[in-house]
Structure 1
Amino acid sequence: MKVSEVMSGEVYVVQKQDTIRDAAQLMRSKDIGSVPVSADDKLVGMITDRDIVLRALADGLDPSTPVSRIMSEGIKYCFDDDDLRDVARNMSELQVRRLPVVDRAKKLVGFVSLSNVADAGDRKATEKLLEGTAKPH
């Protein structure tokens, strides 16, 4: 099974110059906990609700601070035509519950998450992913 068969195609992105407030408002309105950060149509990072709390709020940063100041860089991703089991294994090794999905031109086309893998009905892929993401760190 390919990632494109199970991924979520809804994608919301912030630009690296957008503010922490912009990101938080997007997360609230779309009921999501993370959003990729883009610059010049390329993925350059990821910002999570946890980043906002621990890297911004806890450090007293102003809500008008650009997301580039608190985002995680070195974003990991998979391709839409990758095999789901391979991606689940990779997600387990990376200890992540979701990955951005890009096409071969590296355009963001969706997200694959733990729930997408579980809903796919591939028990082996789900078990592998849970090994790395459902255990306490």
Structure 2
Amino acid sequence: MRVSDCMTRDVRTISPERTIQEAAGVMATLDAGAIPVGENDRLVGMITDRDISVRAVAKGMDCSTPVREVMTQDIRYCFEDEDVEHVAHNMGEIQVRRLPVLNRDKRLVGIVALGDLAIGATDRQAVGSALGGVSRNGGAHA
């Protein structure tokens, strides 16, 4: 099965110039923990609820802080035509719960979460291994 078969296609992005308060509001509206950050039709980052709490609030930044200042710029992504088990393995290795999905022209076409992969994977062990990898200590905020 390919990532395109189980990803979420209707993805909302936010501009890096918007505030973290606006980003948090979008997350609340969408009931999502992450939003891709887009600028000039390109993916330039990701912002998560954890980025807001650890990189902004914990350091005393106010709610008008631009998304650009706390977003993750080292974007990890997958392609829509990749195999679900392969992507699940990679997510465990790099310790992320969700990835933006790009087409081969590197345009954002969706987002995939571990839960999506769990539904779409035929190899449940691959997804279980990915979850174990994501859950171990030592991620980006450790």
* TM score, norm. by length of structure 2: 0.89
Indicate the RMSD between aligned Cα atoms, in angstroms.
Answer: 1.4
> Paired residues, what number?
137
Match of 2:128 in 1: 127
1:77-96 map, 5 Å? 77-96=77-96
Distance 2:101 2:121 in 1: 20
Is the contact made by 2:34 and 2:46 (CA closer than 8 Å) also made in structure 1?
A: yes
Change (3 A) 1:84 1:48: same
% identity of equivalent residues: 47
1:33-112 map, 5 Å? 33-112=33-112
Is the contact made by 1:84 and 1:125 (CA closer than 8 Å) also made in structure 2?
A: no
Q: Which piece of structure 1 moves more, 39-48 or 53-62? A: 53-62
Q: Secondary structure at the match of 1:58?
A: helix
Is the contact made by 1:18 and 1:66 (CA closer than 8 Å) also made in structure 2?
A: yes
Distance 1:31 1:23 in 2: 12
Which consecutive aligned stretches of 4+ in structure 1 deviate over 4 angstroms post-superposition? Answer: none
* TM score, norm. by length of structure 1: 0.92
Distance 2:130 2:54 in 1: 26
Output one character per residue of 1:34-88: Cα deviation in whole Å (capped at 9) or x when no partner.
1111111111111111111112112222211210011111101001011111111
Gaps in structure 1 of 5+ consecutive residues: none
Is the contact made by 2:85 and 2:126 (CA closer than 8 Å) also made in structure 1?
A: yes
Gaps in structure 2 of 5+ consecutive residues: none
1:125 Cα deviation from its structure 2 partner: 2.8
Distance 2:130 2:5 in 1: 17
1:134 Cα deviation from its structure 2 partner: 3.3
Is the contact made by 1:44 and 1:75 (CA closer than 8 Å) also made in structure 2?
A: yes
Q: Which piece of structure 1 moves more, 118-127 or 67-76? A: 118-127
1:17 Cα deviation from its structure 2 partner: 0.6
